[in-house]
């Protein structure tokens, strides 16, 4: 079946602009996660959705970052007033139920470059 998809694959923007990154999880997966991966590092957790609600947004770095999942499937990560430090690969993952031992399956990521 289809895996997790993310669009766009690459996004270049200017400092101060607004961007939206989209994630389409595996069909039937109720849990969805966003991670950020900076160069040379492992992914860092941003936010977790169970269904439509953000069950844990403790990883969002500040209030410029926001994410939604209005119908419990596709999610959008929104970044306002982008800064050069936001440049990274943004990874989305989904899992069947969201439990502690649930395996997360990742998408190919969106590479964000803020000039």
Partner 1 sequence: AQKITQTQPGMFVQEKEAVTLDCTYDTSDPSYGLFWYKQPSSGEMIFLIYQGSYDQQNATEGRYSLNFQKARKSANLVISASQLGDSAMYFCAMREGGNNDMRFGAGTRLTVKP
Contact residues: partner 1, CB under 8 A = 33, 40-45, 48, 55-56, 58-59, 89, 91, 93, 98, 100-101, 103-109, 111
Q: Residue 74 or residue 89: which is nearer to partner 1 going by CB?
A: 89
Could you give the 3-state DSSP secondary structure of residue 40? coil
In angstroms, rounded to a whole number, what is the distance separating the alpha carbons of residues 88 and 14?
14
Rounded to a whole number of angstroms, the minimum distance from the CB of residue 73 to partner 1 is 19
Rounded to a whole number of angstroms, the minimum distance from the CB of residue 69 to partner 1 is 14
Rounded to a whole number of angstroms, the minimum distance from the CB of residue 16 to partner 1 is 26
In angstroms, rounded to a whole number, what is the distance separating the alpha carbons of residues 98 and 30?
7
Q: Residue 45 or residue 66: which is nearer to partner 1 going by CB?
A: 45
Q: Residue 35 or residue 73: which is nearer to partner 1 going by CB?
A: 35
CA torsion sign for 58, 67, 8, 107 is positive
Q: Residue 67 or residue 93: which is nearer to partner 1 going by CB?
A: 93
Rounded to a whole number of angstroms, the minimum distance from the CB of residue 65 to partner 1 is 15
Closest CA to 25 of 84, 67, 64: 67
Q: What is the DSSP string of 71-102?
A: TSS-EEEEE-S--GGG-EEEEEEEESS--TTP
């Amino acid at each position: 079946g289809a895996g997790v998809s993310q669009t766009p694959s690459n996004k270049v923007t200017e400092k101060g602009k607004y961007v939206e990154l989209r994630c389409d999880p595996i069909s039937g997966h109720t849990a969805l996660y966003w991670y950020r991966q900076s160069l040379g590092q492992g992914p860092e957790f941003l936010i977790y959705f169970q269904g439509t609600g953000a069950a844990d947004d403790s990883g969002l770095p500040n209030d410029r970052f926001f994410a939604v999942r209005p119908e419990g499937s596709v999610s959008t990560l929104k970044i306002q007033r982008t800064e050069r430090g936001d440049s990274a690969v943004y990874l989305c993952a989904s899992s069947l139920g969201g439990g502690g031992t649930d395996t997360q399956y990742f998408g190919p990521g969106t590479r964000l470059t803020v000039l």
